[in-house]
Amino acid sequence: MAFINYYKILGVSKTATEKEIKASYRKLARKYHPDLNPDNKKAELKFKEINEANQVLSDPENRKKYDKYGEDWKRGEESEKAQQQYQSQNRSRQQDFSDREYSDFFESMFGGRASSRQSHYTKFKGQDYHAELHLDLKDAYTTHKQLLTVNNTKIRLTIPAGVENDQVIKIKGKGGEGLNGGPDGDLYIKFIINNQTQFKRDGNNLYSNVNIDLYTSLLGEEIMVDTFNGKVKLKIAPETQNETKVKLKGKGFPVYKKKDAFGDLIITYHIKTPTHLREKEKELFKELQKLG
Amino acid sequence: MENNLIAITTLCSHYEIEFSFIDALRKTGLIQIVIIEQDQFIDQDQISELEKMIRLHNELNVNIEGIDVIFNLLEKEKELREELSALKNRLRLFEED
């Protein structure tokens, strides 16, 4: 357990006045407050640090104790042991946050939440939880149910088809327990879609490349091509040019929360010219060249 | 719809805030108040935003105009984050070649 320099965290000297501590706390809080930094874990941790530092240094009793034992807090811990035991017996049950509100250092010195003048922050919404859910593109193609365990709570989640990479959904009230009767926090799930398929996705549209040989591109033919959910027959027109794009309507990705709506599949033809020509072929191509 | 409405008086006592604060938020257009037979209500969908406004006011000493500026900037930031995410996804189309 490392010693935490609360003065350094608040950027004030050991001789700072209450007013200076308060001003510094306000300034840092305005910078790192979670409401001003949504989805920013670093800011959230920083805010907890400065909050903790403020709870100690803005309370004369806590500050005195911190100054007295300071870096040698272990010795102080011994002498305060009896008092802490009493406090812990009388303290209401602590919340079961995955990210604890206070550092080990703080809890060893002050036994959990400090007696503080900050108690006017009464009802406080519980902590918002953030989780990432990794899906394959194939999973995102169909609506399916998934059982998640977040902080020992099982949540049955229906993931609608068409969910986007980096998309975040909010599950109300599934975050941390509210403080002092405040509402529970929310659970935010961010989807990370891994794509191991031959298809590339842009919104609801899918893209793929199809290689065709020179003769097919010149003379035309029917070929079978892969779509995301099966094969379809495609007629290649004679004299098809390289990089020609064909749109297969409704063969793309499902539209999020829109029943039976799909994007398009855009196929790009790549013409592969023959290699290792035999003498006879070379002669024939030369004749064609003369004709051209 | 009325089931989703919460009386302003209930909110004021629950969050320990003055009615004048709620009224100032309304005048700035930050929240909408529904009046039914002289009683004032707020839709519960607005509660989480209202809580954020109360926290900004109580914990950071931000006044109503400041809250308005913050909400506008946060909205813009959200739009930019969404745009960035969409662009990153589009970029993957070219990166995976």
Tokens at B44, concatenated: 């519960």
- Consecutive H or E run containing B69: helix B64-95
Which positions in chain A touch B88 (Cβ < 8 Å)? Answer: 166
In three-state form (DSSP H/G/I as H, E/B as E, the rest C), the secondary structure along chain A is CCCCCHHHHHCCCCCCCHHHHHHHHHHHHHHHCHHHCCCCHHHHHHHHHHHHHHHHHCCHHHHHHHHHHHHHHHHHHHHHHHHHHHHHHHCCCCCCCCCCCCCHHHHHHHCCCCCCHHHHCCCECCCCEEEEEEEEHHHHHCCEEEEEEECCEEEEEEECCCCCCCCEEEECCCCCCCECCCCCCCEEEEEEEECCCCCEEECCEEEEEEEEEHHHHHHCEEEEEEECCEEEEEEECCCCCCCCEEEECCCCCECCCCCCCECCEEEEEEEECCCCCCHHHHHHHHHHHHHC
Q: Which of residues 203-242 of A touch B (CB under 8 A)?
A: 203, 207
State the CB neighbour count (10 A cutoff) for residue A273: 9
Tens of pLDDT, residues B54-86: 999 988 889 999 999 999 999 999 899 889 988
DSSP character at residue B30: S
Chain B residues whose C-beta sits inside 8 Å of any chain A C-beta = 14-16, 47-48, 51-52, 55-56, 58-62, 70, 74, 77-78, 81, 85-86, 88-90, 92-93, 96
With tokens 């209401």, the residue in question is A92
Q: What is the pLDDT of residue A130?
A: 83
Residue B93's pLDDT is what? 78
Contact assignment for A200 to B47 by CB distance below 8 Å:
no
Per-domain residue ranges of chain B: 2-95
Classify domain A200-291 by CATH number.
2.60.260.20
CA distance linking residue B33 with residue B92, whole number of Å: 45
Which residue intervals of chain A bear CATH 1.10.287.110? Answer: 6-120
pLDDT at B94: 79
| CA proximity to A169, closest of A190, A141, A148 | A190
Give the H or E element holding residue B43.
strand B39-43
Q: Which of B51, B77, B92 sits opposite A125 (nearest CB)?
A: B51
Q: Which of B55, B81, B92 sits opposite A35 (nearest CB)?
A: B55
Do residue A200 and residue B48 have CB atoms under 8 angstroms apart? no
The residue ranges of chain A whose pLDDT is under 50 are 74, 82, 85-99, 114-122
Distances (CA, A) of A184 to A95, A171, B45, B85, B95: 11, 11, 15, 28, 41
Query: How far apart, in whole angstroms, are the C-alpha atoms of residue A292 and residue A286?
Result: 10
Phi, psi torsion values for A115, nearest 5 degrees:
-70, 120
Chain A hits for B16, CB-CB cut-off 8 Å, are: 122-123
Q: Taking chain A, what is the end-to-end CA distance rounded to the nearest angstrom?
A: 83
- Residues in chain B within 8 Å Cβ distance of A33: 55-56, 59-60
What's the confidence (pLDDT) of residue A107? Answer: 67
- CATH number given to A6-120: 1.10.287.110
Size of interface A-B (CB pairs under 8 A): 54
Q: Which two structure tokens, joined as six digits, stand for A137? A: 């593109």
CB contact under 8 A, B92 and A33: no
How distant is the Cα of A30 from the closest Cα of chain B, in angstroms? 6
Residues of B in contact with A195 (CB under 8 A): 92, 96
Nearest to A214 by CA among A235, A246, A241: A241
Phi, psi dihedral angles at A157 (to 5 degrees): -115, 130
Torsion of the alpha carbons at A53, A56, A57 and A61, rounded to the nearest 10: 180
User: Given an 8 Å threshold on Cβ–Cβ distance, is B60 in contact with A183?
Assistant: no
Minimum distance, in Å, between the CA of residue B47 and any CA atom of chain A = 10
**Burial state string for A123-142 with b = 16 or more CB within 10 A and e = fewer than 16:** ebbbbbbbbebebebebbbe
d(CA A3, CA A1): 7
**All CATH 2.60.260.20 domain ranges in chain A, comma separated:** 129-194, 200-291
Q: What is the ipTM of this complex?
A: 0.75
Fold of B2-95: Multidrug-efflux Transporter Regulator; Chain: A; Domain 2 (1.10.1660)
Contact call for B56 and A166, based on CB within 8 A = no
Q: What is the pLDDT of residue A21?
A: 94
Residues in chain B: 97
Q: How far does the CA of residue A286 sit from the closest CA of chain B (Å)?
A: 35
Please report where in the chains the tokens 């010693």 appear, as a residue: A3
CB contact under 8 A, B89 and A166: yes
B11-58 pLDDT, tens per residue? 898 888 999 999 999 999 999 999 998 899 999 889 889 999 999 998
Q: Report the topology of domain A129-194.
A: HSP40/DNAj peptide-binding domain (2.60.260)
Bridging pattern class, strands A265-272 and A245-248: antiparallel
Under DSSP, the state recorded for B31 is S
Closest by Cβ to A123, choosing from B14, B62, B78:
B14
The three-state secondary structure class of B7 is strand
Establish if A196 touches chain B: CB-CB under 8 angstroms.
no
Contact B16/A29, CB-based, under 8 Å? no
Which A positions 96-135 lie with beta carbon below 8 A of chain B? Answer: 120-125
CA distances from B74 to A34, A66, A159, B81 (A): 12, 37, 27, 10
